[in-house]
């Protein structure tokens, strides 16, 4: 069985077993075992909701720490557009690029140029592959994994192109190595990431190839260092030329619907937020969604600007990005011959094939699977179905499934076993004995 | 060898209820996914059953029923209604032929692909219809 890398880490000592993460997980990938949160690896799609909801710092992102940067010799920053809305609407992205250089990056490459190649490739892919609709944007790593795990039959709808962040990292390495006469391996590209999920797309790309990026630094991690630099720069200088070209399209890629807004496409949809995505994928799976050519999909409700590692409020961030995008040329000119060549030589494409990753069935033998399903349904009828979570599963139906498939003991339900309740009282150190009688009356 | 039914479930389909149309499809899809049926087969069954549900919802002028049977050999779906029936089956099986109203077309239906789509996605497809008595479609899908 494949081991899945994940972008989050559980810190057992800090975990109180409060169940907040288990309850919010959209793919039921968290269990509480012996009072601590634990991950069911094959179910996790790295959406980062658990990371955002944990108030005990017991779930942390596995990004590269900003402090490790000096270890790398030649460092390139590739900022997510989501960072540009973090500094007030009067602060230009040009200052942000300059700030990154002052923090120690040797160069900055914006995704705007890569996006032009990307749009060229999307349009060609759509016109050359008309039979499969809708085509699904594959930039958000969580969206790709959601499809692989919960909607495996839709894998072929996923746009097989390299995301702009990967493409620009590749371009950066080629350009710099030619210019400086160094090997591409000596150059390290870091994505300044709005979410933890980017990390999995680097460590374990869904299509099984190798990433051109070398690491990610969360916006959260770099923000405090960058903030003061950016403000100083904006006061002292009036910069007019960006270090790396920026377009309205590039900035708009940081919020849901930005691509559609700039490209003004008909029959394109923008969908964001996991529950909305699940609904629309169900519709595609039964052929219910018709007349839609392309769907821009983001796991976070407002797109990258609301990612799990952003600092600014996602709504403010989005409104600033819209403002900022109007102050730059909407599109950049690119060399069309180069774009054509990248496409024809498959450089614009993912370097591997995306495969489904469906969840384990109840059993691999159909007869046994049917038996277990009946057992599951019968058992579920007996359960209270108000999803108290004390068994360690997020819902009674998950619990029933695990009992039927033999992974859980029905005694884990407090309604079946008073013993379980006693164990939990000990485990969570619950002691009402100090409560005096008066207080007790008040309390109840 | 005798074929045994492993799971049998029946779903009531209301006419004209666009909001609920698709619930049988969703339940069947959930069953097939938990049993580990291959994704492309789940997809084909979903598309075919959804078309059938929509057909009852839009054209039958009577409620209908979807009977889902999983046997040790195949998946069988029987869709029946006691509605107006289809006067010209040959025509109805042609791609692009439709009696949809403008309202249905607004909703993205009525492209005349319903029955052909059901036939295309199933391994065997049988349809019988009698005017004012109703229509019965029996589709099977190999899953092994």
**Within 10 A of A235 (CB to CB), how many other CB atoms are there?**
9
Strand partners, B130: B134
Strand partners, B8: B69
Which structural domains are found in chain B, ordered by start? 7-142 (3.30.565.10)
Angle between helices A93-102 and A219-236 (to 10 degrees): 110
Sequence-ordered list of residues with C-beta below 8 angstroms from that of A404, at least 6 positions apart, any chain: A362, A372, A373, A375, A376, A379
Q: Which chain B residue has the Cα nearest residue A363?
A: B35
Looking at the predicted structure, is the pLDDT value of residue A350 above 90?
Answer: yes
CB B51 within 8 A of CB B114: yes
Distances A292 to A84, A132, A287, A295 between C-alpha atoms, Å: 31, 11, 11, 8
Sheet containing strand A294-298, strands side by side: A135-136, A294-298, A268-272
Looking at the predicted structure, is the pLDDT value of residue A440 above 60?
Answer: no
The minimum CA-CA distance between B128 and chain A, rounded to whole Å, is 24
Mean pLDDT, chain A, whole residue set:
92
Q: Please report, rounded to a whole number, the percentage of residues in chain B having pLDDT higher than 90.
A: 47
Residues A358, B33: C-beta atoms closer than 8 Å = yes
Interface list for chain A against chain B, based on CB atoms closer than 8 Å: 152-153, 155, 282, 285-288, 290-291, 356, 358-364, 366-367, 369-370, 373, 401
- B1: buried, middle or exposed (CB in 10 Å: 19+, 13-18, 0-12)? exposed
Mean pLDDT, chain B, whole residue set:
86
Which contiguous run of DSSP H or E holds residue A60? Answer: strand A59-61
CB A360 within 8 A of CB A42: yes
Sequence-ordered list of residues with C-beta below 8 angstroms from that of A109, at least 6 positions apart, any chain: A76, A77, A78, A168, A169, A171, A172, A189, A244
Q: What is the pLDDT of residue A3?
A: 82
Chain A residues near residue B118 by CB distance under 8 angstroms: none
Q: Please report, rounded to a whole number, the percentage of residues in chain A having pLDDT higher than 90.
A: 80
Q: What is the pLDDT of residue A437?
A: 66
CB A308 within 8 A of CB A196: yes
Separation CA A161–CA A163 (nearest Å): 6
Mean pLDDT of the region A218-222 = 94
Q: Which chain B residue has the Cα nearest residue A153?
A: B39
Q: What is the pTM of this model?
A: 0.90
DSSP designation for A71: G
Which structural domains are found in chain A, ordered by start? 1-62 (3.30.70.20), 66-344 (no CATH), 364-444 (1.10.15.40)
Mean pLDDT of the region B117-136 = 91
Separation CA A118–CA A250 (nearest Å): 11
Q: What is the pLDDT of residue B83?
A: 81
Q: Which of A1-10, A142-151, A261-270 has the lowest mean pLDDT?
A: A1-10
Residue A342 pLDDT grade (very low, low, confident, very high; cuts 50, 70, 90): very high
Choose the closest CB to B35 out of A152, A282, A370: A370
Q: What is the pLDDT of residue B82?
A: 85
Which contiguous run of DSSP H or E holds residue A38? Answer: strand A36-39
Sequence-ordered list of residues with C-beta below 8 angstroms from that of A115, at least 6 positions apart, any chain: A164, A247, A249, A250, A253
Sequence-ordered list of residues with C-beta below 8 angstroms from that of A328, at least 6 positions apart, any chain: A93, A246, A247, A248, A250, A251
Residues B50, A358: C-beta atoms closer than 8 Å = no
Residue A193 pLDDT grade (very low, low, confident, very high; cuts 50, 70, 90): very high
Q: What is the pLDDT of residue A156?
A: 92
Looking at the predicted structure, is the pLDDT value of residue A393 above 60?
Answer: yes
Interface list for chain B against chain A, based on CB atoms closer than 8 Å: 6-7, 22, 25-26, 29, 31, 33-36, 39-40, 42-43, 46-47, 49-51, 70, 72, 108-109, 111, 117, 144
Q: Which of A105-109, A301-305, A360-364 has the lowest mean pLDDT?
A: A360-364
Looking at the predicted structure, is the pLDDT value of residue A223 above 60?
Answer: yes
Model pLDDT for residues A399-412, shown as the tens digit of each residue: 999 999 888 999 99
CB B68 within 8 A of CB B8: yes
If one compares B95 and B82, the residue with the highest pLDDT of the two is: B82
Q: What is the pLDDT of residue B129?
A: 87
DSSP designation for A210: -
Mean pLDDT of the region A418-426 = 91
If one compares A207 and A382, the residue with the highest pLDDT of the two is: A382
- Please report where in the chains the tokens 């810190």 appear, as a residue: A11
Residue B9 pLDDT grade (very low, low, confident, very high; cuts 50, 70, 90): very high
Chain A residues near residue B50 by CB distance under 8 angstroms: 286-288
Q: What is the pLDDT of residue B115?
A: 86
Q: Which of A384-393, B31-40, B58-67, B131-140 has the lowest mean pLDDT?
A: B58-67
Mean pLDDT of the region A198-204 = 90
Chain A residues near residue B72 by CB distance under 8 angstroms: 366-367
Strand partners, A61: A8
Separation CA B73–CA A137 (nearest Å): 38
Model pLDDT for residues A140-190, shown as the tens digit of each residue: 999 999 999 999 999 999 999 999 999 999 999 999 999 999 999 999 999
Strand partners, B128: B136
Q: Which chain A residue has the Cα nearest residue B38?
A: A153
Model pLDDT for residues B16-57, shown as the tens digit of each residue: 777 777 889 999 999 999 999 999 999 999 999 999 998 888
Burial A325-336 (b: 16+ CB within 10 A, else e): beebeebbebee
Q: What is the pLDDT of residue A116?
A: 97
Q: Which of A68-82, A217-231, B54-68 has the lowest mean pLDDT?
A: B54-68
If one compares A3 and A229, the residue with the highest pLDDT of the two is: A229
Sequence-ordered list of residues with C-beta below 8 angstroms from that of A163, at least 6 positions apart, any chain: A118, A138, A139, A201
Tokens of B103: 């309202």
Q: What is the pLDDT of residue A289?
A: 87
Residue B85 pLDDT grade (very low, low, confident, very high; cuts 50, 70, 90): confident
Choose the closest CB to A285 out of B36, B43, B144: B43
Separation CA B130–CA B144 (nearest Å): 34
**What DSSP assignment string belongs to chain B?**
----EEEEEEEEE-TT-TTTTTHHHHHHHHHHHHTT--HHHHHHHHHHHHHHHHHIIIIISS-EEEEEEEESSEEEEEEEE-SS--S-HHHHTSTT-----HHHHHTT--SS-HHHHHHHHSSEEEEEEETTTEEEEEEEEE--
Q: Which of A62-71, A120-129, A167-176 has the lowest mean pLDDT?
A: A62-71
Q: What is the pLDDT of residue B112?
A: 61
Q: Which of A33-47, A86-100, A106-120, B8-22 has the lowest mean pLDDT?
A: B8-22
The alpha carbons of chain B give a radius of gyration, in whole angstroms, of: 15
Q: What is the pLDDT of residue A132?
A: 87
Residue A272 pLDDT grade (very low, low, confident, very high; cuts 50, 70, 90): very high
Mean pLDDT of the region A208-223 = 93
Looking at the predicted structure, is the pLDDT value of residue A444 above 80?
Answer: no
Q: Is the ipTM of this complex over 0.85?
A: no
> Between A and B, how many residue pairs show a Cβ–Cβ distance under 8 A?
64
């Amino acid at each position: 069985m494949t081991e899945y890398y994940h972008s989050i880490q559980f810190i057992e000592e800090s975990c109180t077993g409060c169940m907040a993460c288990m309850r919010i997980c959209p793919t039921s990938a968290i269990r509480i075992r012996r009072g601590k949160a634990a991950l069911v690896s094959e179910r996790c799609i790295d959406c980062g909701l658990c990371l955002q909801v944990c108030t005990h710092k017991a779930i942390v992102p596995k990004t590269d720490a900003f402090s490790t940067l000096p270890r790398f010799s030649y460092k390139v920053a590739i900022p997510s557009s989501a960072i540009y809305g973090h500094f007030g609407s009067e602060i230009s992205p040009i200052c942000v690029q300059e700030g990154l250089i002052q923090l120690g990056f040797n160069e900055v490459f914006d995704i705007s140029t890569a996006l032009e190649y990307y749009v060229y490739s999307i349009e060609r892919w759509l016109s050359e592959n008309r039979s499969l609709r809708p085509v699904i944007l594959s930039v958000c790593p969580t969206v790709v994994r959601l499809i692989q795990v919960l909607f495996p039959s839709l894998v072929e709808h996923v746009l097989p192109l390299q995301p702009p962040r990967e493409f620009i990292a590749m371009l950066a390495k080629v350009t710099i190595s030619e210019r400086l006469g160094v090997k591409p391996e000596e150059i390290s590209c870091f994505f300044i990431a709005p979410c933890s999920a980017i990390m999995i797309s680097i460590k374990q790309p869904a299509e099984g190839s190798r990433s051109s990026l070398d690491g990610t630094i969360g916006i959260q991690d770099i923000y405090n260092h960058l903030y003061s630099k950016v403000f100083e720069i904006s006061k002292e200088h009036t910069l007019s030329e960006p270090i790396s070209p920026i377009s309205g399209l590039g900035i708009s890629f940081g919020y849901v619907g930005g691509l559609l807004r700039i490209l003004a496409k008909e029959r394109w949809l923008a969908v964001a937020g996991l529950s909305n995505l699940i609904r629309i994928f169900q519709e595609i799976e039964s052929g219910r969604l018709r007349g839609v050519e392309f769907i821009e999909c983001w796991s976070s409700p407002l797109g990258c600007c609301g990612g799990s590692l952003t600092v600014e409020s996602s709504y403010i961030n989005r409104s600033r990005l819209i403002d900022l995008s109007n102050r730059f040329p909407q599109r950049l000119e690119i060399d069309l011959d180069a774009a054509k060549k990248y496409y024809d030589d498959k450089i614009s494409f993912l370097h591997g094939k995306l495969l489904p990753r469906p969840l384990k069935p109840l059993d691999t033998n159909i007869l046994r699977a049917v038996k277990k399903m009946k057992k599951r349904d019968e058992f579920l009828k007996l359960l209270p179905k108000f999803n108290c979570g004390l068994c360690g599963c997020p819902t009674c139906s998950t619990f029933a499934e695990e009992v039927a498939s033999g992974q859980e003991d029905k005694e884990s339900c407090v309604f079946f076993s008073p013993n379980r309740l006693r164990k939990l009282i000990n485990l969570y150190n619950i002691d009402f004995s100090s409560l005096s009688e008066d207080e007790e009356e008040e309390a109840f | 060898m005798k074929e045994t039914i492993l799971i049998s479930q029946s779903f009531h389909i209301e006419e004209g209820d666009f909001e609920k149309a698709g619930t049988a499809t969703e339940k069947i899809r959930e069953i097939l996914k938990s049993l580990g049926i291959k994704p492309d087969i789940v997809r084909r069954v979903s598309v075919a059953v959804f078309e059938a549900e929509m057909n009852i919802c839009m054209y039958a002028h009577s409620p209908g029923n979807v009977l889902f049977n999983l046997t040790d050999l195949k998946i069988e779906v029987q869709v029946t209604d006691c509605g107006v029936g289809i006067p010209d089956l040959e025509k109805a099986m042609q791609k692009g032929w439709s009696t949809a109203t403008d309202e249905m077309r607004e909703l993205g239906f009525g492209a005349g692909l319903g029955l052909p789509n059901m036939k295309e996605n199933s391994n065997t497809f049988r349809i019988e219809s009698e005017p004012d008595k109703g229509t019965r479609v029996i589709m099977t899908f190999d899953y092994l």
